[in-house]
Structures are given as structure tokens and as C-alpha cells.
Structure 1
Amino acid sequence: MTELDDKDRLLLAALRQDSRQSLVALARHAGLSRSGVHERLRRLEAKGVVAGYTIRLGVEDKNPTVRALVAISFQSGKNCDHIVPHLSAMPPVVTCWSLAGTTDLMVLVECASNGDLDTIRRQISLIPGVATVQTHVALRTHFDRRD
């Protein structure tokens, strides 16, 4: 585990709030020099603590999105190598995690409608080697620390 000090935590908290902040604003927030912030961010990036800077489009207000977690179990003898390539070719599947336990994979699916979710769910169930598919629709986001 990468050791973070208080200044690193302050920088990460500030970036979570607004990843577009200037180095000067981040320096002010963390009580560091601009060059000190730049060096810390470079180190955090190199260690994989900061994996990228991104924007999240405000699509919820303009285009309602149906989000669901889809739990996938494999048929005997099948593994991620058989299933994941099919999932990665499906644009509505935005994230895929391997799990320990009775569920082999969990995917996050984002669609424009329940009908689109039903279509992608059916496509997943038809992937050779998939034994079961369980869909859990997200009703509301209470918080998201990825912001």
C-alpha cells in the first residue's frame, strides 16, 4: 500500500472536488509551493494513486441513464479469458470486475432506457460460457467518491 501523508491527502481531496484546479489553487489548499504540488502529483501519478484526470458529463439531467450492476457466473471450465473479450466489445458495459465467490464477474452497465438494459442483459446471457446473469438496477446515487 502506498503511504500517503497529510499533504497528499489534502491534494487528493481537493482533486476529488475539482480535478481542473490549477497548481496554484492546489498549492494554496495544501499549504505547499506550486513546484511542491507538481512534484507530489508526479509522484502520486507514478505510483498509480492518481490514475488520470477526467470529466464526468452531467448526463443525468439531460439524458436519464439506467445504471445496473450485472452479476455473471461462468459455466464449468470457463474463465475470464472466455467472457471478458465479449463484454469489452459492448459499449454499455463501462466497467468489469473479477470477483471471488459464487459470482465470477460484476459489470457496470449504463443504458438510456430499461429496454436497452434488457437488450444488453440478453446479449450477456448469450455469451458462450455464461451460466447465470443477475441484474441489479441502481435506483439512486446517494454519493460517489469518484467525483
Structure 2
Amino acid sequence: MDCRVGSVKMTGTTGEKTTKTMDDTDRAIIAQLGQDARMSVAVLARRLKLARSTVQARLERLESSGAIAGYTLRLGEAARVTRIRATCMLTIEPRAQPAILARLRAMPAVERVHTTSGRVDLLLQLGCASTTELDEVLDRIGNLPGVRSSESLVHLSTKLDRAL
């Protein structure tokens, strides 16, 4: 896992905002939580050989600074098997992005949207209940005003997922 984070705004004990670089301990905490976000502070402290109060204070600081935005769950393959996943790559007209993004946000099947620096402008992650639904969603996306072209890739299986 790559947790390269430069300077982050941290809140000190008196509430003042300071800029502090994450250290190895902060990165170790994030790495452990990346493996199991449900890990208790006591277990985390024991694994890192730190005082529980130290780990608690660092977690609070990482959360308040935005370095840790929240804790979530990742669905396993057994839970995802009922969803057909696909990636859709869009090339769009200049200045059409805001309108396209607004329309994509209204589509429940669109799970993620990334801007890119490559040959395509937007990279979409889709999740649908059936191939029929996926086909309909792809048609709707391809027909959006401002979309020049689209290409889709259906996910067959996930071999590695290190997403945090």
C-alpha cells in the first residue's frame, strides 16, 4: 500500500491548525486500518507497540485533518456476484464536463467517475443487476449531449483489490 501523503493540516491540542507531515507511525496506523478498518484502538496499539492513548490521539488528528476521511466496508466477491461491473471510457466535447457529470450523478448505476489525462476524458465505474440493465445504461451514457465516443469493458473477475 502506498500512503505517500505530504503535508496535511493537523489540529493541535489547543485547536490551532498546523501543517504537519505524516510520519511513519501515522502511515503504519493507516496501513493497519487499510487491512481491517474495524480494528479496535487497543488492538491497533498492541500491534504497533504504542500506548493506546497515543494511537487514539493520532487517529483523532488524522480524522480531523482529513487524512482519514472515514471508515467503510468493501464488499467481497460473494456479495458482488449479483452485480455486473463495467468500466466505461468517455471522450467528451470541450466544456461539456459539468453538464455530463450532473447527468451521470443522477444515474444510480454510475458508482465512480474519474477524470483522466490519457486519450479519454472520463473513466466511469458501473454496477448493474443484469446485462440488460448494463446495456440500457451504456446507451443512455453514450447518448448524453457532449459525449463524443464511449468504450466499455465488462469486468469478469477481480484478481487484486487494494483500494482503501
TM-score using structure 2 length: 0.80
Which stretches in structure 2 are left out of the alignment for 5+ residues? Answer: 1-5, 8-20
- 2:97 is the counterpart of 1:65: no
State the superposition RMSD in angstroms.
Answer: 1.7
Counterpart selection for 2:92 from 70, 74, 90: 74
- The residue that corresponds to 2:154 in the other structure is 137
Corresponding residue number in structure 1 for 2:15: none
Which structure is richer in relative contact order (CA contacts within 8 A, separation 6 or more)? 1
**Aligned-pair CA distance for 1:133:** 0.9
2:38 aligned residue (20, 28, 32): 20
Match of 1:104 among 105, 121, 129: 121
CA distance in 2 between counterparts of 1:136 and 1:72 reads 12
Name the counterpart of 2:16: none
SS of alignment partner, residue 51 of structure 1: coil
- Matches of 1:34 and 1:114 in 2, distance apart? 49
**Alpha-carbon distance between aligned partners in 2 of 1:39 and 1:146, rounded to the nearest angstrom:** 25
Q: How many residues matched?
A: 145
* Equivalent position of 2:64 in the other structure: 46
In structure 2, C-alpha distance between the alignment counterparts of 1:51 and 1:91, rounded to whole Å: 23
SS at match of 1:86: helix
Structure-2 separation of matches of 1:15 and 1:78: 39
Superposed, 1:116-127 pairs within 5 Å as 116-127=133-144
Separation (CA, whole Å) in 2 of partners of 1:128 and 1:39 = 50
Matched AA of 1:95:
R
Q: Could you tell me how far apart the structure 2 residues matched to 1:122 and 1:78 are?
A: 22
Once residues 49 and 114 of structure 1 are traced to their aligned partners in structure 2, the CA distance between those partners, rounded to angstroms, is: 38
AA in 2 matched with 1:43: R
Distance in 2 of aligned mates of 1:145 and 1:101: 23
How far apart, in 2, do the equivalents of 1:100 and 1:79 lie? Answer: 16
Judged with a 3 Å threshold, the aligned counterparts in structure 2 of structure 1 residues 79 and 39 are, in CA distance, closer, same or farther, namely: farther
Are the aligned partners of 1:11 and 1:29 in contact in 2 as well (CA < 8 Å)? Answer: no
Q: Distance in 1 between matches of 2:153 and 2:159?
A: 16
Q: 1:115 aligns with which of 118, 125, 132?
A: 132
CA contact (8 A) 1:10 1:29 kept: no
User: How far did 1:115 drift?
Assistant: 1.9
Could you tell me which amino acid in structure 2 is paired with residue 71 of structure 1? M
